[in-house]
Structure 1
Amino acid sequence: MASVLCNYVPELLCKFPQIDQTVMREARKLIDDNFKAFVRAYGYILDAAVQPLQWFLNWLQALFVATPWFIIILVMTLIVYVASRNTKIAVGTALSMLAIGFVGLWEDTMVTLAMVTVCTLISIVVGIPIGILMARSERVQSVINPILDVMQTMPSFVYLIPVVMIFGIGKVPGLIAVVMYAVPPMIRLTNLGIRLVDREVLEAADAFGSSPSQKLFNVQIPLALPTVMAGINQTIMMSLAMVVVASMIGVGGLGKNVLQAISNQFLTIGFLNGFALVVIAIIFDRTSQAYGKRLQRHTEVVHG
């Protein structure tokens, strides 16, 4: 049908106009060559800058793997119960972790847990200050919002390309890729939480003579905590999703097993490792949601 139609309309309307291939080839070559030159010139500085992340990740991973399983389960159950104040979630956490151990995935789960913990901590440290800046400045928000839009719509595999070119294959490159993928919800929801603080509360703080920093730390951030917790929840979920992709560049853990199961068509291995990832996701999700609801109720009582 299209070929018949093209017989009756000008060729220009049937053939989409494109940039000349020579121009595109030269542009790609220019960008790639300059990026590679930048990596060769400053790669050692970037490697030195991220070396503390390597040390911290290795230490935490060794701690999780070397600690006896019953201590890990006990500590996790206590943390979940203190955060959620929900006996069912705490008991479910203990039983789920026992099930992971029974199927032989305990060590890989600890490696993944260490990775997600570090990624979440970095996302919090990076995301909350940027979210605060966005909430305090319309200009900053207008600049950062399009960047976050691109980051959240970019296919996850694309994050691996610049990271591998700069840092090579290993845990830290994978960690950086996971953080890049998972940090946007932290930034957005921190910004949203601070902006949703009631104006009357802010006016009352101004009436009492609060400085901008006092108003931020004593009023806005405490009231925004439930929304910030939702951002942490989303960051954890996205970190777990990205861990499987990052296993392509040497992250290890459950993601590596899933990737091997896909390559070799091992249904049982893939299912069991996927089950372990789902268990971790549910534990984090239920705990952070319950803690967020507790914060929200506390906020409503204090300021209601």
Structure 2
Amino acid sequence: MLVVGVVALRAGGYRLAAFSIFTLGYLLVTKYWPQSMNTMALVLLTIPISVFVGLAIGVLAFQVKQARATINVALDVMQTMPAFAYLIPLLLLFGFGPVVGLIASAVYAIPFMVKNTILGLERVPSDIAEAGVMSACTPRQRFWLVDVPTAAPQLLVGINQTTMAAFSIMIIASIIGGFADIGWEVLSSMRAAAFGQSLLAGGAIALLAMVMDRITLGLAGHGGAAQHPAWLTSRRMWSVIAIALIGAWLIRLSGIAVTLPFASTPALIDADAVNHWVLGLVPRFDGPIETFKNGVLYYFILPLRIGMIRAVTPLSWGIALTQR
């Protein structure tokens, strides 16, 4: 939580840091911390794979014009094909488990990085590229020292979109993943008609997605001007955080069991109480709910359906069918 708060403070200022700490606190009080961290672990494994593969394919498409059309078709197929279409072959190859979700997330997220890489490299001004040539840069030096730094803002936007895409498809992949992550928690609670658990787990997903989106956008320079305190640029502060992370990792490797104070306490937000509250809304507001449903059905959906049936005819296309 400390590390996420510092990164959020650096990316978007005090408000984003407070919102990030609130989100992680919500995971604690609802007892969804382990499931959320399992999801985050898969997402953080998927992001580097998607970014590096997408960057390589994007550079290939930018430099080899003949391969651009083939790569664009492949990207369109990867993005428009339903996730279940390639989840089934992955299931046959790798079986149930987190590997299926990892591969499916990478397949879905790679096109975002590819397209942003192509867009960023195409937007490098010609005068900057010519300055690199005039400075006697080799093609490799020109690419890494001129093109990539100039296209860095668009590449960071691609990383942001790749992160959100990997996070979104991870929920779908949990259907056959069978992994103890937050997506599986939502799916199992929905199957059991446990509306309270569904709302709490769905809230965890939404909050995590917003935090990841704001932080990555802020680091990409699109989150607005943030007021950064001077200690954020201190190497000593970052060294202390790095030492703390390394120490926690070594404790983890040593096998020493560390029990958190809240690990054995019940959740502060009772899911059963939320279940009863949601179910109680239906009989309590039965009249308004029925009125709203009938109003939408008879005054919006039904006229729209009748209008579409009468409007979408061959006559609207400029032709008319006649009987002979």
Same fold (TM over 0.5): yes
Question: Of the candidates 185, 207, 214, which is equivalent to residue 257 of structure 1?
Answer: 185
Match in the other structure for 1:145: 72
1:224 partnered with 2:151: yes
Describe how 1:52-71 pairs up with structure 2 within 5 A.
none
Provide the C-alpha distance between the structure 2 equivalents of 1:163 and 1:218, rounded to a whole number of angstroms.
Answer: 39
1:79 maps to 7
Q: Which residue of 2 aligns with 1:11?
A: none
In 1, the alpha carbon distance for the partners of 2:42 and 2:171 equals 11
- Match among 179, 192, 198 for residue 125 of structure 2: 198
SS of match in other structure, 1:251: coil
CA deviation after TM superposition for structure 1 residue 251, in Å: 3.3
Give the helix-richer structure, 1 or 2. Answer: 1
Alignment correspondent of 1:133: 60
Q: Give the aligned residue type for 1:135.
A: F
- Equivalent residue, structure 1, for 2:41: 114
SS at match of 1:237: helix
Q: Note the alpha carbon deviations across 1:58-106, whole angstroms, 9 max, x for none.
A: xxxxxxxxxxxxxxx0111122223x15121111101111012111111
Distance 1:99 1:170 in 2: 27
Cα deviation, 1:213-255, whole Å, max 9, x if unaligned, reads 1111001111111111111111111112111111122233100
Structure 1 match to 2:217: 289
- In structure 2, what residue type is equivalent to 1:279? L
Which letter maps to 2:48?
L
Report if aligned partners of 1:128, 1:190 keep a CA contact under 8 Å in 2: yes
Give yes or no for the alignment of 1:162 onto 2:81.
no
Same amino acid, percent of matched pairs = 33
Indicate conservation of the 8 Å contact 1:159/1:180, yes or no: no
Aligned CA RMSD, in angstroms, stands at 1.7
Alpha-carbon distance in structure 2 between the residues aligned to 1:179 and 1:195: 24
**Higher mean C-alpha displacement, 108-117 vs 257-266:** 257-266
Partners in 2 of 1:202 and 1:296 — Cα distance?
28
Distance in 2 between residues matched to 1:294 and 1:286, nearest whole Å: 9
Q: How many Å apart are 1:112 and its aligned residue? A: 0.7
Deviation at 1:155, TM superposition (A): 1.0
Residues 110-163 of structure 1, C-alpha deviations (whole Å, 9 max, x = no match): 111111111111111211111111111211212211000111111122121111
Q: 2:102 aligns with which of 175, 188, 198?
A: 175
Q: Could you report, residue by residue, the CA deviation over 1:246-294 in whole angstroms, capped at 9, with x for unpaired residues?
A: 1122233100011112212221111111111111111111111112126
Question: Separation in 1 of the partners of 2:133 and 2:223?
Answer: 24
Q: Which residues of 2 match residues 264-279 of structure 1 at below 5 A?
A: 264-279=192-207
Aligned length: 224
Contact 1:77 1:91 in 2 (8 A): yes
Q: Runs of 5+ in structure 2 lacking a partner?
A: 226-324
Report whether the alignment pairs 1:212 with 2:139: yes
Aligned residues of 2:7 and 2:215 also touching (Cα < 8 A): no
Q: Distance in 1 between matches of 2:151 and 2:179?
A: 34
Cα distance between partner residues in 2 of 1:252 and 1:198: 48
After superposing the two structures, state which structure 1 stretch, 243-252 or 143-152, moved more.
243-252
User: C-alpha distance in 2, partners of 1:163/1:279?
Assistant: 29
**Larger RCO (alpha carbons 8 Å, 6+ apart):** 2
Q: Which amino acid aligns with 1:175?
A: L
5+ residue gaps in structure 1? Answer: 1-72, 298-304
Q: CA deviation at 1:295?
A: 10
Structure of higher CA gyration radius = 2
